[in-house]
Structure 1
Amino acid sequence: MNQKHFEQMKNGNGFIAALDQSGGSTPKALALYGVTEDQYSGEDEMFDLVHDMRKRIITAPAFDNNHIIGAILFEQTMDREIEGMYTGDYLAEKKGVVPFLKVDKGLAEESNGVQLMKPIDDLDDVLKRANERHIFGTKMRSVIKEANPEAIKEVVDQQFDIGKTIIEAGLVPIIEPEVDINSSEKEKCEELLKAEIQSHLDKLEQDEHVMLKLTIPTVPNLYKELIEHPNVVRVVALSGGYATEEANEKLKENNGLIASFSRALTQDLNVNQSDDAFNNELKSAVNSIYEASIT
């Protein structure tokens, strides 16, 4: 494990940029950016365009380690280059930003009020390539919609089982059991989730470290004990569909919780903006998310 990156993730001021939309969500991400589906044909062109978008974000002056301490990449982005360097190397060496990789293959069908992760059949190969590309950690997402104790336990069991494999490969897993912000039982889901996570954290060995990516809780500072747990490097929050302003306001109520926003970071960026306009919009989003993350 890269000790410098570990220290930055543990103690750095700032937030994590989530730039990891994958195959299923890429058309939506491009459409928000002003690139409609009639402007490309086939997956190759689509992924070229989304890499151009990510490259524009990452190389922008506003994307810097004074505000952004880490960035989560999609597998294709990890394997592509920016200015002749693999994306992870460019982030680490040119921007001082710690690179992470999304490793899940999407969500299974909803069952018992949750969506587990689909099997990750090529995990060993992906982790090997992640190490070759100097990636620090990984991210994988499940979703919780109902306060079903057995199902929530199943979600957290799956996350930590796979997390153990990732730790063994020398990487730091970001465990992401998202609670749906539209759940009628959101607060109850979060209480059950916290207890399950706490129980798994307490079983980790002293040198086994994880990060947590959680929905901003209904009850402020609910996750205080998780943030302070010795096996947790950092707890980060997803925006979960909240608009930037609302996500930031909710985040400010939670001490020590930092952002790992995707849509809230990029929602005002457009392919047709001049570089100046693009950078100004990005700078405004970066500054607002940073301010909310350092409370």
Structure 2
Amino acid sequence: MNNTLEVPGAELYYEVRGSGPLVVLVGAPMDADAFAPLAELLAVDHTVLTTDPRGIKRSRLSGAGSTPEERAADLARLIEYVDAGPATVFGSSGGAVTALALAQHHPKLVGTVIAHEPPLDKLVVDADELLAATERMIADYLAGDVLGAWRQFFVIANIQLPDDVLEMMFGGERDPQVVADERFWFEHELRASVTWEPDLGALRDGGVRIVAGIGAESSGQLCDRTTTALAAGLGIEPTRFPGDHIGFAEDPAPFAAVLRPLL
């Protein structure tokens, strides 16, 4: 089922598959389509909710931006509207930040949060340096240096990509919706996500089980470091998932095999 829900400042696009206990799969800026193959695998015995985050693709924005708290409130309203909770929420990247904000601010709606590689830059020792580099990257992107900004992004993330791959991915003619979503992320979403600092005490004591997930192929990358720091702050051991930062999209079957027991 595909539908939309009006919330303060936005109209949210969402999809519901299957039946059974509620599982929410969410990204930021990744939209619902990125999670569709994984959702199909889980929908054989779960109700699976996916959504485009506010301002991305089919979720139209009438407000100003996209903070983790706003996105968490959006998820809370979707969970209440679907009326199949409490939910298990799998969030990846910025969506993991959203999921943690949901656990922190709306704990009665969620039983488990699986935070896969949240970019919580403030939890690592070189936070000031990272955030300063992020500000330069955003400024360069908004000034029109798209390739230069993406080159900086992968340096910050400690992910090695050759220039010809960067050119193929982010140069030349590109889909207008992809470009629009990318600009929204750089302009309105990225800063709010990487500067968000979780209340570790509230997460430890809030009654929501937190799983900190790291890709087996993400060793040494920034999101490996931030997720390791999150796990340490919560007093838990990280859970390793197949693949890298987007392993759930690149090879969903082995990813689902590790995810399913956590549901």
Fold match (TM-score > 0.5): no
TM-score range (shorter-chain normalised) is 0.3 to 0.5
TM-score, scaled relative to structure 1: 0.35
- Greater helix percent: which structure? 2
